[in-house]
Amino acid sequence: MSILKFKTILPKLPSGFLKNTLLPTKRVPLKILCKYSSGSNLQIQENEHYDRPKLLNVHLPNTSEPLKLHPIWLRDHCRCPECYNDVTCQRNNDILKLSDQIAISTYSQSDGLLHICWSDGHKSSYSIPWLVSNTYDGKYKALQEETDRLTTWDGTTVNLLGLEPISHQRLMSDDKILREIYRRVFQYGFVKIEQVPPTKLDTSAVIERICRMSHTVFGKFWETGTNFDHKDTGYLNGYLEAHTDNTYFTEAQGLLVFHCTHFNGTGCESFLVDGFHVAKQLKQLDPSAYDYLSNVNMESEYIEPGEHFSSWGPIFRHHPVSHKLEQIRFNMLDRSPLSSIPQEEVGTHYRYLKTMATLVKKKENEYRFRLSPGTVMIIDNWRLLHGRESYQGERVLRGCYYSRSDFMSKARHYGIIS
């Protein structure tokens, strides 16, 4: 029987690194040296070329610090037609054919390009700005800057942002406004489009103009107030506390679109809460609660005849590289039975959850408004929580979801994110 023996060597950690092991931290590479016993087909050996490589120093303008690049990374990222298909934007090379012994024979830098002749005779040229933005430090910096561009708000400061609604006429006639819509959603978490004729046809035209609708268990284009098609409290007229949707999907839908096309009654004030603002408040008020809710998974579920969705995750999800807050999953109504922690930890769990719920329900954090016929709202479901007061009378709310992948793809296309 073959046995793989692993010896893990932790690199020297920055001081204070282990003060709080729950905190998301900057990546610290693990070096794993593997030994193998005879009889195994998989022979993993220490490879000096991988583990202790001679990094190539690329001189960068305006800084004395060179860009250090591993030869294997460079060879794997060759963008010549043999290695990379410019039409499909996919790699052509087979990672198993990437030689462990590949070495740089000669290299030179000129006019913003790095030229390399490899030991096997292959030649590569790279744009130096491309190298900077596609390696760890450059990507890390870009992701940090993207997050720094977000403007968080509360119920008072949201009114000082000067966000004039976008008119229906401009949306339908000016292609340039699309980028502005994506920028606002990314920066503030929502955008309003006004003077939209309150018909099904006009609502769906506005929706399709911005991004493709997502098809979920609720259909593509849903309608509440006229039916009880789905067994969800959103289809009833009671009070709805602030929440995010789809905590029970493996990937919650990224954006929500609402258009109240008819209202003849009383009550029904809507409100939004900036979850990223609440996260900041919680981090300040009780850092251990923030750490706990960033690390402990909770299960959520949605059940209707013929369906049973379930997904696990923490309330705060962070980006895997930047470690910045990326998503809030907060829906107290869709929680499954709490089975992710032993009973001994239940007390702590409820204490932290209640601290968070108290901040979410703070009146000062709520942006209140009335969704009236003619106003289409696009809301970031990974950042904002939405809710509404109970109502009496008739109300028709139409809308859809955009998937996170679809919306972010367009945001990347418009240059809003990298």
- Site stretch for Zn ion (CB under 5 A), options 30-38, 76-84, 268-276, 359-367: 76-84
DSSP reduced 3-state for 272: strand
- Site stretch for Fe ion (CB under 5 A), options 240-248, 266-274, 345-353, 368-376: 240-248
Nearer to Zn ion (CB atom), residue 80 or residue 396: 80
Nearer to Zn ion (CB atom), residue 106 or residue 173: 106
* Distance (Å, whole) CA 415 – CA 410: 9
Number of residues that bind Zn ion (CB under 5 A): 4
Nearer to Fe ion (CB atom), residue 246 or residue 322: 246
Is 229:407 a contact under the CB 8 Å cutoff? no
Task: Return the H-helix or E-strand segment holding 289.
Answer: helix 287-295
Residues of 219-246 as b/e, b for ≥16 C-beta within 10 angstroms? eebbbbbeeeeeebebbebeebbbbbbb
Residue 245 engages Fe ion in binding (rule: CB under 5 A): yes
Nearer to Zn ion (CB atom), residue 51 or residue 82: 82
Short-list 189, 166, 298, CA closest to 254: 189
- Site stretch for Fe ion (CB under 5 A), options 205-213, 231-239, 267-275, 290-298: 231-239
Q: Which does 205 bind (CB under 5 to 8 A by kind): Zn ion, Fe ion, none?
A: none
- Biggest distance spanned by C-alpha atoms of the chain: 78
Task: Return the H-helix or E-strand segment holding 33.
Answer: strand 31-36
Residue 117 engages Zn ion in binding (rule: CB under 5 A): no
Residue 55 engages Zn ion in binding (rule: CB under 5 A): no
Question: Closest approach of Cβ 370 to Fe ion, in Å?
Answer: 17
The residue ranges of DSSP E strands in 38-136, in sequence order, are 56-58, 67-69, 84-85, 90-91, 104-110, 113-118, 123-127
Number of residues that bind Fe ion (CB under 5 A): 2
CB atoms within 10 A of CB 191: 24
Task: Concatenate the DSSP letters of all residues of 365-398 into one string.
Answer: GEEEE---TT-EEEEETTTEEEEE--EEEEEEEE
φ, ψ of residue 161 in degrees (nearest 5):
-75, -15
Question: Closest approach of Cβ 189 to Fe ion, in Å?
Answer: 15
CB atoms within 10 A of CB 281: 19
Q: Which of 55, 56, 72, 83 binds Zn ion (CB under 5 A)?
A: 83
Nearer to Zn ion (CB atom), residue 80 or residue 142: 80
Question: Closest approach of Cβ 388 to Zn ion, in Å?
Answer: 57
Is 114:126 a contact under the CB 8 Å cutoff? yes
Q: What residue has token string 């008819």? A: 262
Question: Closest approach of Cβ 81 to Zn ion, in Å?
Answer: 8
Is 365:277 a contact under the CB 8 Å cutoff? yes
Q: Which does 80 bind (CB under 5 to 8 A by kind): Fe ion, Zn ion, none?
A: Zn ion
Task: Concatenate the DSSP letters of all residues of 313-373 into one string.
Answer: E-SEEE-TTT--EEEE---STTBPP--SS-GGGHHHHHHHHHHHHHHHT-GGGEEEE---T
DSSP reduced 3-state for 15: coil
- Site stretch for Fe ion (CB under 5 A), options 69-77, 193-201, 233-241, 370-378: 233-241
Question: Closest approach of Cβ 118 to Zn ion, in Å?
Answer: 9
Question: Closest approach of Cβ 331 to Fe ion, in Å?
Answer: 8
Question: Closest approach of Cβ 399 to Fe ion, in Å?
Answer: 10
- Site stretch for Zn ion (CB under 5 A), options 72-80, 194-202, 307-315, 332-340: 72-80
DSSP reduced 3-state for 301: strand
Nearer to Fe ion (CB atom), residue 291 or residue 380: 380
Subset of 151-180 contacting Zn ion (CB under 5 A): none
Subset of 77-106 contacting Fe ion (CB under 5 A): none
17, 282, 308 from 333: Cα distances, Å: 37, 21, 15
Q: Which does 56 bind (CB under 5 to 8 A by kind): Zn ion, Fe ion, none?
A: none
Q: Which of 80, 177, 240, 338 binds Zn ion (CB under 5 A)?
A: 80
Question: Closest approach of Cβ 185 to Zn ion, in Å?
Answer: 39
Q: Which does 245 bind (CB under 5 to 8 A by kind): Fe ion, Zn ion, none?
A: Fe ion
Q: Which of 67, 69, 74, 78 binds Zn ion (CB under 5 A)?
A: 78
Q: Which residues bind Fe ion (CB under 5 A)?
A: 234, 245
- Name the residues that contact Zn ion, by CB under 5 A: 78, 80, 82-83
